[in-house]
A and B are shown apart, each in its own frame.
Chain A
Amino acid sequence: MNYQYNIGCSLSNLKGIREFVRTSLKDQQVPEIEMSAIVLALDEMCSNLMIHAHHCNPEHMLELHIEIPAKGKFIFEIVDDGSIFDINEFHEPELDNLVHQKRKGGLGIRLVKAIMDSVEYLRRDEKNVCRLIKVIK
């Protein structure tokens, strides 16, 4: 199964992304807790890209692809042509430091890494592809 959704880089579109992910996975018997976590991880990755790579310009587009190659295996790809921000190279701050500095950011990447089995980056057709893989046993 393959699903695709194209969306402008406006934070008001995040709800649409969450609904797209949920709808695409609805017949896959994903437990609600896992479903919510997956939806959250995609929201976090897309909002990061919208804010940091596209400065919330609604004319810039993201493509979101979902592929389900086998039962319980989900491949999510976010395709864009902005600057790459590789979360694997980002060292997330300690929670205590975040509290101390009263910072509101830095938690999203931690969530994505905790939820997804892998996060990798590649170039395809001169675009950036962020690929997230989740396997549910």
Chain B
Amino acid sequence: MVHIKRLQEDGSDIISVVGDIDASSSIELDLAIAKSVGEGFKKILVDCSALEYISSAGLGVFMSYIEELKDKNIPMVLFGMKEKVANTFSILGLAELLHIASTKPEAKKLADELSV
């Protein structure tokens, strides 16, 4: 089960992911990012501090947006990941393909730098 909340802060859309993202729930993450892009946000931050688990289905969602966001010049930065979740990204080498920060202020700073 996953709960996804969206709130806006300083022009960024912040997507908070709470719980587990697996093959049964990855669609909800997909829909949240699609909405954020569709509503025209220029910066997307993904709060992973309450993300307890992610499987390849969730990783695949993030991967599938890399090109589109690059084309539209929308930085997406993930932040606050627990070590066990971060490990899943690093097993696949995704940490180099995605933008990942430790804290929300760092994520905001990185998103600002990327959107210049």
Distance of A77 Cα from B57 Cα, bound (Å): 22
Q: Which of A66-74, A78-86, A93-101, A126-134 contacts B (4 or more CB under 8 A)?
A: A93-101
Cβ of B88 under 8 Å from chain A: yes
Do B92 and A104 touch across chains, with their CB atoms under 8 A apart? Answer: no
User: A11 touches which one: B23, B56, B67, B97 (CB < 8 A)?
Assistant: B23
Cβ of B40 under 8 Å from chain A: no
| Nearest CB in chain B: distance from A87 CB, A | 12
Cβ of B110 under 8 Å from chain A: no
Interface of B is mostly: helix
Distance of A103 Cα from B57 Cα, bound (Å): 11
Interface of A is mostly: helix
Cβ of B115 under 8 Å from chain A: no
Q: Tell me the chain A residues, 6-39 only, with Cβ under 8 Å from chain B.
A: 11-12, 14-15, 18, 32-33, 36-37, 39
Distance of A38 Cα from B57 Cα, bound (Å): 16
- In the complex, which residues of chain B have a beta carbon less than 8 angstroms from the beta carbon of A14? 22-24, 55
Q: Which of B5-13, B58-66, B99-107 contacts A (4 or more CB under 8 A)?
A: B58-66
B residues apposed to A, CB below 8 Å? 1, 20, 22-24, 26, 30, 53, 55-57, 59-61, 63-68, 83-84, 87-88, 91-94, 97
A residues apposed to B, CB below 8 Å? 11-12, 14-15, 18, 32-33, 36-37, 39-40, 43-44, 47, 50-51, 95, 98-100, 102-108, 110-111, 114-115
